[in-house]
Amino acid sequence: MTIEYRQIQPAEFRKFGIAIERGFGFHYSPNSAQFRLDKEILPINGTMCAFEDGELVGTTAAIPFDESSIQGGTIRNAGVTAVGVSTTHRRQGLLTNMMQRLLRQEREKGFPVASLWASESSIYGRFGYGVAIHHENFRIDTRRAKFTFAPNIPGRIRFVDADEARKLFPQAWEAAREVRAGIPSRDDVHWDRWAIGLNDGGSEWGKPWTIVYEEDGKILGYAKYQLQDLHVFGEQTHGAINADDIVTSSPASHAAIWTHLLNVDLYDTLTTWRSPIDDGLPWMLEDQRQLERMPYDAIWYRMLDIQAALESRTYLNDGSVVFEVVDEFLPECGGRFKLEVQAGRGTCLGVTEEPDFTLPTASLGAIFIGGSRLTDLERAGRVDEHTDGSLATTDRMFSTIRAPWCPMMF
Amino acid sequence: MSIDLKSVNDENFVEWRRAVRAGFGQHVHPDDITRLRNDRAEIDRLIAAVDLDTGRIVGTGGVDSFTLTVPGGVQVPMAGVAYMTTAATHRRQGTFTRMMNRIHDEARERGDLVAGLWASQSHLYGRYDYGLAVNSFDWKIDPHYGEFAHSPGTDASIYFVQAGEATGILPGIYDQYRSDTPGGVDRTAGAWRYLLFDEERVRGGASALFFAICEENGEQTGYVMYRMRRQGDSDMGTLQLEELIALTDTAHASLWRFLLNYDLVGQITAENMPADDPLWWMLADPRRLRRSRHDSLWLRFIDTEKALEARSFGVDGKLNIGLHSEHQPEVNGTYTVEVTAGIARVQKSNAKADVDMTPRDLAVIYMGGSHPYSLVEAGRVSAVDQEQLTKLHLMFSTDSAPWCPHYF
> Is the domain of B200 the same as that of B307?
no
Q: Which of A290, A324, A348 is the last residue of a domain?
A: A290
Indicate the residue of A278, A284, A378 with minimum beta-carbon distance to B373. A278
- Structural domain range at position B312: 303-396
Looking at B95, B112, B129, which one is the last position of a domain? B112
Q: Do A150 and B379 touch (CB under 8 A)?
A: yes
Q: Is residue A243 part of a domain?
A: yes
- Domain end position, chosen among B76, B96, B112: B112
pLDDT tens-place string over residues A365-376:
999 999 999 999
The number of residues in chain B equals 408
- The minimal CB distance from A121 to the residues B121, B286, B393 is found for B286
Tell me, what CATH number does A106's domain have? 3.40.630.30
Domain presence at residue A407: no
Domain membership flag for residue A42: yes
Q: Given CA atoms B296, B300, B302, B307 in this order, what sign does their dihedral have?
A: positive
Same domain as A309, residue A277: no
Residues A273 and A311 in one domain: no
Percentage of chain A with pLDDT > 70?
97
Predicted confidence (pLDDT) at residue B101 exceeds the cutoff of 90: yes
Chain A partners of B153 at a C-beta cutoff of 8 Å?
381
Question: Is there a single domain that holds both residue A215 and residue A154?
Answer: yes
pLDDT of residue A200: 74
Q: What is the pLDDT of residue A71?
A: 67
Instruction: Locate the chain B residue with the closest alpha carbon to A383.
Output: B152
pLDDT for the residue A70: 64
Q: B340 pLDDT band (50/70/90 cuts)?
A: very high
Residues B229 and B361 in one domain: no
Contact check, Cβ <8 Å, A125/B149: yes
Please indicate, yes or no, whether residues A222 and A283 belong to a single structural domain of this protein. yes
pLDDT in tens, A379-399: 999 999 999 999 999 999 999
Q: How far apart are CA A133 and CA B285, in angstroms?
A: 16
In this predicted model, what pLDDT tens digit does every residue of A293-308 receive, in sequence order?
999 999 999 999 999 9
| SS3 letters across chain A | CCCEEECCCHHHHHHHHHHHHHHCCCCCCCCHHHHHHHHHHCCHHHECEEEECCEEEEEEEEEEEEEECCCCCEEEEEEEEEEEECHHHCCCCHHHHHHHHHHHHHHHCCCCEEEEECCCCCCCHHHCCEEEEEEEEEEEEHHHCCECCCCCCCCEEEEECHHHHHHHHHHHHHHHHHHCCCCECCCHHHHHHHHHHHHCCCCCCCCCEEEEEEECCEEEEEEEEEEECCCCCCCCCCEEEEEEEEEECCHHHHHHHHHHHCCCCCEEEEEEEEEECCCCHHHHECCHHHCEEEEEEEEEEEECCHHHHHHHCECCCCEEEEEEEECCCCHHHCEEEEEEEECCEEEEEECCCCCCEEEEHHHHHHHCCCCCCHHHHHHCCCCEECCCCHHHHHHHHHCCCCCCCCCCCC
B146 with B189, same domain: the answer is yes
CATH of residue B177's domain is: 3.40.630.30
Q: CB-CB: which of A278, A287, A403 is closest to B122? A: A287
| Number of structural domains found in chain B | 3
Please check the confidence at residue A233 and state whether its pLDDT lies above 80: no
Question: CB within 8 A of A309, min separation 6: which ones?
Answer: A75, A112, A113, A303, A368
Q: Is residue B263 domain-shared with residue B309, that is, in the same domain? A: no
The per-residue pLDDT for A201 is 64
Strands of the A55-68 sheet, one edge to the other:
A4-6, A49-52, A55-68, A74-85, A113-117, A292-303, A130-141, A267-276, A239-248, A218-228, A209-215, A156-160
B131 located within any domain: no
- Which domain does A188 fall in, by range? 146-290
Task: Look at residue A328 in the predicted model and tell me its pLDDT.
Answer: 98
Task: Judge if A200 and A232 occupy the same domain.
Answer: yes
Same domain, B156 and B26: no
Q: Are strands A209-215 and A218-228 parallel, antiparallel or unpaired?
A: antiparallel
Interface test with A, best of B148, B356, B377, B380 (most A CBs within 10 A): B377
Give the CATH number of the domain where residue A337 resides: 3.30.1050.10
Neighbour order of strands in the sheet with B382-383: B343-349, B333-340, B317-323, B355-357, B382-383
Do A162 and A72 share a structural domain? no
Final residue belonging to a domain, choices B265, B290, B315 = B290
- Inter-chain touch A379–B152, beta carbons under 8 Å: yes
Q: From the CA of A147, how many Å to the nearest CA of chain B?
A: 10
Does residue A83 fall inside a structural domain? Answer: yes
Residue A246 shares a structural domain with residue A153: yes
Give the per-residue pLDDT at B226: 98
A410 catalytic? Reply is: yes
How many CB atoms sit inside 10 A of residue A93's CB? 12
Q: Do A285 and A309 sit in the same domain of this protein?
A: no
Q: Note whether residue B129 is domain-resident.
A: no
The answer to whether residue A317 neighbours chain B at the CB level (below 8 Å) is yes
Residue B69 lies in a domain: yes
Structural domains in chain A (count): 3
Q: A132 in a domain, yes or no? A: no
The per-residue pLDDT for B292 is 95
Interface predicted TM-score (ipTM) = 0.95
A152 and A277 fall within a common domain: yes
Q: Are residues B79 and B24 in the same domain?
A: yes
Question: Are residues B268 and B313 both part of a single domain?
Answer: no
Which of A65-74, A323-332, B388-397 shows the lowest per-residue confidence on average (mean pLDDT)? A65-74
- Residue B126 placed within a domain: no
Same domain, B260 and B308: no
Give me the pLDDT at residue A237, please: 65
- Give residue-wise pLDDT tens across range B153-166: 999 999 999 999 99
Q: Is residue B240 part of a domain?
A: yes
Q: Which of A258, A277, A289, A402 to mutate to test the interface with B (most CBs of B within 10 A)?
A: A289
- Name the residue in chain A with its Cα closest to that of B253: A380
Q: Which residues of A touch B281 (CB under 8 A)?
A: 376-377, 379-380, 382
Claim to verify: residue B348 and residue B255 sit in the same structural domain: no
Residue A353 has pLDDT above 80, yes or no: yes
The confidence score (pLDDT) of residue A202 equals: 67
Instruction: Give me the CATH number covering residue B315.
Output: 3.30.1050.10
Would the CB atoms of A287 and B279 count as touching at under 8 Å?
no
**Each residue's pLDDT tens digit, B223-244:** 999 999 998 888 889 999 999 9
Share of chain B above pLDDT 90, in %: 97
Confirm whether A301 is a catalytic residue.
no
The pLDDT of A53-82, averaged and rounded, is 90
Domain end marker among A261, A290, A319:
A290
pLDDT tens for each residue of B167-193: 999 999 999 999 999 999 999 999 999
Please list every residue in chain B whose beta carbon sits closer than 8 Å to the beta carbon of residue A376. 276, 278, 281, 400
Per-residue pLDDT tens over the stretch A310-334: 999 999 999 999 999 999 999 999 9
- Tell me, yes or no, whether B285 and B145 share the same domain: yes
pLDDT attached to residue A236: 64
Chain A: residue nearest B137 by CA? A294
Contact present, A113 and A75 (Cβ < 8 Å): yes
CA distance B242 to B255: 13
Same domain, B239 and B95: no
What digits encode the pLDDT tens for the residues A260-301?
999 998 899 999 989 999 999 999 999 999 999 999 999 999
Mean pLDDT value of segment A108-122: 96
Mean pLDDT, chain A, whole residue set? 94
- State yes or no: pLDDT of B320 exceeds 90: yes
Is B117 a member of any domain?
no
Residue B385 has pLDDT above 90, yes or no: yes
* Boundary residue ending a domain (A266, A290, A314): A290
Amino acid letter, A16? F
* Same domain as B286, residue B141: yes
pTM for this entry = 0.96
